[in-house]
A = this chain, B = another copy of it.
Amino acid sequence: MTDNTDGPLDRQALRVLDAYWRAANYLSVGQIYLLDNPLLTEPLCREHIKPRLLGHWGTTPGLNFLYAHLNRVIRARDLNTMYVVGPGHGGPAMLANTWLEGSYTAANPAVQRDEQGMRELFRQFSFPGGVPSHVAPEVPGSIHEGGELGYSLAHAFGAAFDNPDLVVACVVGDGEAETGPLAASWHANKFLNPATDGAVLPVLHLNGYKIANPTILARIPQDELDALFRGYGYAPRYVTCDIDTDTEQVHQDMAAALDEALDEIRDIQQRARAGGDRDRPRWPLIVLRSPKGWTGPSEVDGVQVTGTWRAHQVPLSGVRDNSEHLALLEQWLRSYHPEELFTDNGAPIADLLATVPDGDRRMGANPHANGGLLLRPLELPDFRRYAAEVDKHGATTSEPTRVLGRWLRDVVRDNADTRNFRIFGPDETASNRLDAVYEETGKQWQAEVLPVDEHLAHDGRVVEVLSEHLCQGFLEGYLLTGRHGLFSCYEAFIHIIDSMFNQHAKWLKTSKALPWRRPVASLNYLLTSHVWRQDHNGFSHQDPGFIDHVMNKKAEVIRVYLPPDTNTLLSVADHCLKSRDYVNVVVAGKNQTPDWLPMDEAVLHATRGAGIWDWAGNEHDGEEPDVVLACAGDAPTLEVMAATAILREQLPDLKVRVVNVVDLMRLQPHTEHPHGMTDPEFDAMFTTDKPVIFAYHGYPWLIHRLTYRRTNHHNIHVRGYKEEGTTTTPFDMLVLNDLDRFQLVTDTLDRVPHLGSRTARVRQRMADLRARHHQWTREHGEDLPEVRDWVWPY
């Protein structure tokens, strides 16, 4: 060590900070390589090495470096800090640091802070029966897995919303920074209110390389890089380290950069909180430029490794069979001087422990990163008070999402003090007719406001940004830190976040198996402006496949609801906001829809999830019907009801049963999904041998996938969206996909045996009506009046 470095750290502080970093690096390398001999108490030999060398070294030393420096400022300033790791494949770093600080052992008592525990820490990493190689739910302190790159910064901002005392440090990898979601996330600073939200401190980690390529941001000139971040609205500062840079100077530089950044954050917050300054601040941002695989072997087999993409995973790959590699590994491990860092029994020395924050201030123990610990149930106003009045089934209409908006408005109102509920949407909250919420709150917005603007607010419960990725990422971060929320989205475009949903569902599945992870609020999707009502748009806006997508994930975390009317939607929404650890997908319309059920029936129907609407059919008590007309979704329900009315009028002695399905999971066997009906239940509803005409909201084969094991499956005939569409009238969309009432009647005639000669007349009538519809719409540009104005007649 030299004495001529310059910065805020005194000799002792510098010494222990560097020692901590070396310890974390040592523990990281150990995880990748060692089965045994964790303290290097004997010379390293083949038997100590794992047979499969797995892990990502390249990003790890930088993550350790930042962790060490954050610990210093947390202690110095008593900061409440989370650490979001964009390069989440650097799992060894987080495992090493949480072990060092004791939070890992608190969550996993089998891995103590001693030699045996260190051996287990090393062995379990990427080992069968052990822990994954990424910053998975198994890692305390994490809300972010990072295996799929791009979401760290959105998670960080989501965590910071409504947590005014929290500082979320977020490491963004330069690989990850090339992704779309991350590129969009820099602008999240336009949505963070310094008075009422916490702070996000992004650290762009330029280590220069991805798996096999340089990164864009590491290969543009410094003036472009600086302009870029100033353009994003940040005040960047730079900490730069080449392979040859004296690490002491880098420590000093990082310590200074962090001190300055945290001073700035404090000043920004004080100006906003005490001074009432409403200008959007230029939040600080740190760019750390350091060699990939920093402190690792600089050259292996004659080629440079540290500072190149070759350091990405396992720099020494042949350790078990190549004595030179083995010697290099031992030299590398010993370069950290483990004998100075750990006691004889393997515990970190007291100097290191003294650098660790106390209790919940440890980043691995921060309760925000185990959000269920902080979760407070929402105060939910009684949804029954918002009911559409229904004196007679289907006689009146209402707009389901508009009515829901009134309830959501009061959810906002009743939880204004706890500030733990937000609505996210890609510029569609009003389009989706939830705009009643603006009577109670605004859209959070820190950029410029003009007099003509409406509903913008420095502190609002609605967050709108035209990026489904940001909406999803913000909401995930918000939920995983113990709050509640809703994402309302056009149905077709929710596919934009298919992969983010995958990762969240995987996170929930794994978290549920960890006793120390506490349940969090469910992720609620309200998919509206759905496939059947894209009147202003067309084919590109028509895709009901998100339901299919979510159903590939574990049954214990997935719920799908298709409420047929306003009152059922209210009941479903109330249930979803009370639920925990699920992903709830609710598909509901925004257009005028018949109010099929009075509230008491709607609650019962939503609770049962599927049921026979005996008031709609004409079967007689105790007798089986001749045909079951089943429906799921608002548009199919309307068509089934209209088809039922035609059948009752045209073939009055045909016994029709109407079944409506709200909770799609009810269709699965109960052995496959906890909501699934037993076979006797299913058989009682759908019969064992009668034709079932099933009108479904989405792609028809999903119903087959759910029911293929049922007794009567071979009799189930499904109509749904078969990828036909354009900009046209609502009823024409149904006709294009053979989901219209006339087709459903014809389908019934095709499948019910022994109807006799009367069917010819009805068939002809259906064909005539379809032809009349065709001609009418093409002439008048709107739906046939008798279809448009149809009302349930019974």
A747 CB–B CB distance under 8 Å: no
CB-based contact A536/B313 at 8 Å = yes
Q: Is the CB of B132 within 8 A of A539?
A: yes
Inter-subunit contact B431/A211 (CB<8 Å):
yes
Contact residues in B for A605 (Cβ distance below 8 Å): none
Interface residue? A147 (CB, 8 A): yes
Chain B neighbourhood of A431, CB < 8 A? 211-212
- From residue 694 to 730 of chain A, which have CB atoms closer than 8 A to chain B? 699, 701, 704-705, 708, 713, 723, 726-729
Q: Known interface pairs A219-B447, A554-B723. Does A469 touch B699 (Cβ–Cβ under 8 Å)? A: no
Beta-carbon contact of A51 and B183 below 8 Å: no
A495's contact among B133, B216, B499, by CB below 8 Å, is which? B499
- Docked Cα-Cα span, A552 to B544, in Å, equals 9
A430 within 8 A of B: yes
CB within 8 Å of B: which A34-69 residues: 35, 50-52, 54-56
Binds B, one of A17-25, A173-181, A644-652: A173-181
**Chain B residue with the shortest CB-CB distance to A304:** B452
Q: A536-B54, A545-B552, A552-B545 are in contact. Are A466 and B149 (CB under 8 A)?
A: yes
The residue on B at minimum CB distance from A494 is B499
CB closest chain-B residue, reference A496? B499
Write the nearest CB–CB distance from A497 to chain B, whole angstroms: 9
Within 8 A of B (CB), among A485-528: 492-493, 495-496, 498-499, 502-503, 506, 509-510
Question: Is there contact, CB below 8 Å, between A780 and B51?
Answer: yes
**Beta-carbon contacts under 8 Å, A426-477 to B:** 427-431, 443, 445, 447-450, 452-453, 456, 464-470
Q: Do A54 and B147 touch (CB < 8 A)?
A: no
Interface centre among A35, A466, A726 (most CB of B within 10 A): A466
CB pair B52–A782 under 8 Å, yes or no, is yes
Contact between chains at B55 and A536 (CB < 8 Å): yes
**A227 contacts B by Cβ under 8 Å:** yes
Number of chain A residues whose Cβ lies closer than 8 Å to a Cβ of chain B: 124
Q: Which one of A228-236, A362-370, A574-582 is at the B interface? A: A228-236
Residues of B within 8 A of A132 (CB): 537-539, 726-727
B-contacting 9-mer, from A122-130, A197-205, A253-261: A122-130
Asked if B211 and A134 sit within 8 Å, CB to CB, the answer is no
Of the candidates B232, B538, B782, the one whose C-beta lies within 8 Å of that of A133 is B538
A175 nearest CB neighbor, chain B only: B466
CA of A701 to CA of B552, assembled, Å = 9
Query: Which residues of the other chain, B, contact A134 by a CB distance below 8 angstroms?
Result: 537-538, 540, 727
Q: Mark A534-576, 1 if CB is under 8 A from B, else 0.
A: 0111111101010011001110000000000000000000000
Q: Which residue of B lies closest to A88 (CB)?
A: B540
Residues of B within 8 A of A129 (CB): 728, 777-778
Q: Does A184 contact B (CB under 8 A)?
A: yes
Measured in the bound complex, the distance between the Cα atoms of B129 and A535 in whole Å is 14
Say how far A55's CB is from chain B's closest CB, in angstroms. Answer: 7
Any B CB within 8 A of the CB of A214: yes
Measured between C-beta atoms, what is the minimum distance from A124 to chain B in Å? 10
Give Cα A498–Cα B210 distance, bound, in whole angstroms: 24
Pair A729/B136 contact, Cβ less than 8 Å: no
Q: How far is the CB of A293 from chain B (nearest CB, A)?
A: 13
Residues of B within 8 A of A705 (CB): 701, 704-705
Q: Does A89 contact B (CB under 8 A)?
A: yes
B549–A428 touching, CB < 8 Å: no
Find out whether the CB atom of A548 lies under 8 angstroms from the CB atom of B552.
Answer: yes
Which residues of B sit under 8 angstroms from A622, Cβ to Cβ? none
Residues of B within 8 A of A595 (CB): none
A410 within 8 Å of B by Cβ?
Answer: no
A133 pairs with B233, CB closer than 8 A: no
Which of A35, A123, A183 gathers the greatest number of chain B CB atoms within 10 Å?
Answer: A183
A307–B451 alpha-carbon span in the complex (Å): 12
Q: Is the CB–CB distance between A233 and B220 below 8 Å?
A: yes
A517 to nearest B CB, angstroms? 15
CB contact under 8 A between A176 and B214, given known A147-B540, A447-B219, A552-B545: no
Q: Is the CB of B552 within 8 A of A467?
A: no
A128 and B729: CB pair below 8 A?
yes
Please tell me if A224 contacts chain B, counting CB pairs below 8 Å. yes
CA distance A701 to B548 in the complex (A): 11
Would A536 and B447 be within 8 Å (CB), given that A128-B728, A228-B232 are in contact? no
A543 nearest CB neighbor, chain B only: B502
Contact mask for chain A residues 152-182; partner B; CB cutoff 8 A; 1 contact, 0 none: 0000000000000000000000011011111
Our pick among B128, B212, B781 for the contact of A50 (Cβ within 8 Å) is B781
Contacts A212-B427, A226-B231 given; indicate if A308 touches B179 (C-beta within 8 A). Answer: no
Q: CA of A190 to CA of B220 in the docked complex: distance in angstroms?
A: 9
Known: A448-B220, A453-B214, A464-B213. A136 touches B499 (CB 8 A): no
Query: Which of these, B187, B470, B498, contacts A498 with CB under 8 Å?
Result: B498
Which residues of A come within 8 Å of B, CB atoms? 35, 50-52, 54-56, 89, 123, 126-134, 136, 145, 147-150, 175-176, 178-187, 190, 210-216, 219-221, 224-233, 304, 307-308, 313, 427-431, 443, 445, 447-450, 452-453, 456, 464-470, 492-493, 495-496, 498-499, 502-503, 506, 509-510, 535-541, 543, 545, 548-549, 552-554, 699, 701, 704-705, 708, 713, 723, 726-729, 732, 777-778, 780-782
Can you pick out 18 interface pairs between chain A and chain B where the beta carbons lie within 8 Å of each other? A51-B781, A52-B535, A54-B535, A123-B781, A132-B538, A132-B727, A133-B537, A133-B538, A136-B538, A176-B466, A179-B469, A211-B427, A212-B428, A227-B228, A230-B231, A495-B499, A509-B723, A548-B549
Given A211-B427, A214-B456, 10 extra CB contacts under 8 A: A35-B781, A52-B782, A127-B728, A128-B732, A136-B538, A178-B465, A180-B181, A214-B453, A228-B228, A704-B708
Top 8 A-B pairs ranked by shortest CB distance? A228-B231, A147-B540, A180-B180, A227-B231, A183-B183, A219-B447, A495-B499, A132-B538
